[in-house]
Each structure stands twice: as structure tokens, then as C-alpha cells.
Amino acid sequence: MDRSIIGWLLIGLVAGVLAKILLPGRDPGGIVVTILVGMAGAFLAGLVAHALGWTLVGGWKNYAAATAGAVALLALYRVITNRRTR
């Protein structure tokens, strides 16, 4: 397995877990969904950082940005699911 794939999985796992800790409540899935939300959050944060001209070089900056992206995705998920249940 390529080292970059393992890195994406690890940052996704950490970001997803941190996002669930920061936003406790009913959220989808187990560990696989947590990793996917974290990876999507990392991707979202990378796109936003690139659009703003920021560089995310360094371990803690990557994790912070990925966690912020994952928190944003979980918040968006809650907004969408709350509208469906009403």
C-alpha cells in the first residue's frame, strides 16, 4: 500500500474522531464513516486553503484544517437531516 494512502487514512481517522468529539451527538456510522468524513474534511480544507492562497505545510496545520473541514461537514449533515425530519 502506498504511504500517501496510509497518510490520508490516518489524517482522516484523526480528523473524523476529533470532529465527532467537538460535535457530539447522533452522527452517521462507525469507524469507516468517521474516516471518510475526516478525509472529505481534509479535502474540503485543502480546496479552501488553495482558493485563499494558503499553504498547509506542517503536521499540526494539516490536522487542524482537516478537523475544521470535518466539523463543517458534520454540521452540514445535521442541518440537512434536521430539515428532512421536520
What is the rounded distance in angstroms from the CA atom of residue 58 to the CA atom of residue 56? 6
Domain containing residue 51? 3-85
Percentage of residues in the chain with pLDDT exceeding 90? 0
Q: Quick check: 1 pLDDT over 80?
A: no
Helix ranges (H only) for 1-86 are: 3-22, 31-52, 59-85
Number of compact structural domains in the chain: 1
What is the rounded distance in angstroms from the CA atom of residue 21 to the CA atom of residue 54? 26
What is the rounded distance in angstroms from the CA atom of residue 68 to the CA atom of residue 65? 5
- pLDDT recorded at residue 85: 64
pLDDT tens-digit map of 10-21 = 887 888 888 888
pLDDT tens-digit map of 7-62 = 777 887 888 888 888 888 776 667 777 778 878 887 888 788 888 887 766 677 77
- pLDDT recorded at residue 58: 67
